[in-house]
Amino acid sequence: MTAGAGAGRTVRDATLGVLRELGLTTLFTNPGSTEIPFLTDLPGDIRLVLALHEGSVVGMATGWAIARDRPALVQLHTTAGLGNAVGALATARVNRAPLVVLVGQQDRRHLATEPFLAGRLRGLAGDYPVAVDEPATARDVPGAVARAHHAAVHGRGPALVIVPVDDWARPAAEGAERAAASRVAYGTAADPAGPAEIAAIIDAAASPALVAGAGNDTDDGWAALVALAERIGAPVHQESFGARAGFPQDHPLFAGILPADRPGLRAALAGHDAVIAVGAPVFRQYMFSAGPLAEPGTRLALLTDDPAEAHRSPVELAVLAPIPAALRSVAERVSARATRPSVQGAAPTEEPAPPDEAGPLLPAHVFAALAQRTSQDTVIVEETPSSRPDLHRLLPARRPLGFLSAAMGGLGFALPAAIGVRMARPGRPVIAVVGDGASLYQIQALWSAAHYRVGVLVAVLSNGRYAVMDRLAESAGGKPSWPPFEEVSVSAVARGLGCPAQRVATHAELTAALDAILPALHDRSDPMLLDIAVATDPAFHP
């Protein structure tokens, strides 16, 4: 793969050639002066997607990369842009989203004097990038971009290339080798030894259980894990705080979401003498609590394609391999079991009774209404911490990529990510379900959705407060020191950004709005925001 440098070709020309060869022709950005030489007069085959804040830039690119299962291209503006994007880059890393990130830098010719906008960029994003490259010369930039693509794919995260502003106009190298492989082949065959050991652990167990994680959210992964679960008659739990669903949540063997505390985890896994996690960490926690993850005598094993996940998980055996192929290998080796367990999570979900006109609208009412009207291929992008358990209970993921959330836990992911997913998968309906507090972290992304006519539905659960924080304070025996923000109108902000919006205050208004929007959501070409007034569920406990 060559950039094809010829007479008069610049580093920008050569880099554009590399981007075309790598399929990186959609660029998410919020530009500044250090990006002008690259972005001005872009060729017609390079699509620029503007966002109004770098968190939205990276969030949209993350959704795009996840939905397309290939790297997305981002360009950020020196220290200010990269600094604003660090939280979103952290989320991209933990969500395993491959991003190639160009970061602008001041002119090489006076960097030594630290001019205005010069950035100390290496290390600014901490350890969250999977690679950071500062090309030694301008001519090294095209190769650095190609290497960043390889790093993003292999490392499953953002790879940064820092490019001084004057590099783009420099002459491209002629006749020089580009220091990057034309193609990197990643192994697809699982070593039989690891799956054989997992099969042996399962066969030796009286009551095995499985745990599905975000790393198994592919068509092949779902099919392979369903086949294994049905062969051994094992319940399948979903990892806690999972960014994606790794198993169909309407399957009879689905046993629900694991608790994120050790006592709850031990109770959920009690009675199982072997637990095999698939594409999930072992086991993700929230608040610290003492004691082991599982009862003594329970054997823990992990199958993953993430080296960091394999290295840090406290298990008897971690198998690092391509997940679907390894699952099929385990299923071929394990002994079939005739009986199936009684799975608590497989019981029919009880929907909440609709409120009367005077009663409060709860998040569960919203989720039940969505569940009655959404198709199986709908993508739900979630960021509503205080009502997430109800969402899982009432709105299960029924297809791969049916559920997406921020693995990192920080707010501001769901709204731009939903826009990126819809841009990448225009044939699938996409609904962002967010709290009003969460929506305000990247509300600017609505402008991009409106400007580029991205037909995503944003359902905002508006209670005028950070409900999860209030309850955490109460559970600690105190009361919040922060005020509510009931005067904020998310629908008014949305309309100010050019996005159509509707305020919903009653159950009748909710069902009427959903009946009007959802049947045509597959083909919708404009965003819509529903600002839904809800009360905090008194039964909720974080």
Q: Which of 156-165, 193-202, 338-347 has the lowest mean pLDDT?
A: 338-347
Equal CATH topology for 11-169 and 193-346: yes
Give percent of the chain with pLDDT exceeding 90.
69
Exposure on the CB side of residue 8, measured as CA atoms within 13 A: 0
Domain ranges of the chain: 11-169, 193-346, 363-533
8 A C-beta contact, residue 453 and residue 466: no
- Looking at domain 363-533, its CATH superfamily turns out to be Thiamin diphosphate (ThDP)-binding fold, Pyr/PP domains (3.40.50.970)
Residue 8, pLDDT > 90, answer: no
Q: Which of 18-32, 169-183, 335-349 has the lowest mean pLDDT?
A: 335-349
Distance CA 324, CA 476 (A): 43
User: How high does pLDDT run on average in the chain?
Assistant: 89
Interval 113-156: pLDDT, tens: 888 888 899 999 999 999 999 999 999 999 999 999 989 998 99
| Residue 445 exposed, middle or buried by CB count within 10 Å (0-12, 13-18, 19+) | buried
Residue 334, pLDDT > 80, answer: yes
Distance CA 542, CA 540 (A): 7
Q: Hey, what amino acid is at 324?
A: P
Answer yes or no: CATH 3.40.50.2300 is held by domain 193-346: no
8 A C-beta contact, residue 166 and residue 135: no
Residues 6+ apart with CB under 8 A from 11: 138, 139, 141, 142, 167, 168, 169, 170, 171, 172
Q: Is the pTM of this model over 0.75?
A: yes
Q: 387 φ, ψ to 5°? A: -130, 15
List residues bridging with 277 in a β-sheet.
211, 302
Q: Hey, what amino acid is at 418?
A: A
Which of 3.40.50.720, 3.30.390.30, 3.40.50.20, 3.40.50.970 is the CATH number of 11-169? Answer: 3.40.50.970
Q: How many residues does the chain have?
A: 542
Of the candidates 294, 234, 296, 236, the one whose C-alpha atom is nearest the C-alpha of residue 265 is 294
Burial letters 331-350, b for 16+ CB under 10 A, else e: bebbeeeeeebebebbeeee
Confidence label for 347 from pLDDT (cuts 50, 70 and 90):
very low
Distance CA 186, CA 502 (A): 48
Confidence label for 464 from pLDDT (cuts 50, 70 and 90):
confident
8 A C-beta contact, residue 217 and residue 401: yes
8 A C-beta contact, residue 315 and residue 333: no
Q: Which of 124-133, 279-288, 379-388, 435-444 has the lowest mean pLDDT?
A: 279-288
Q: Where are the alpha helices (DSSP H) in 134-192?
A: 141-155
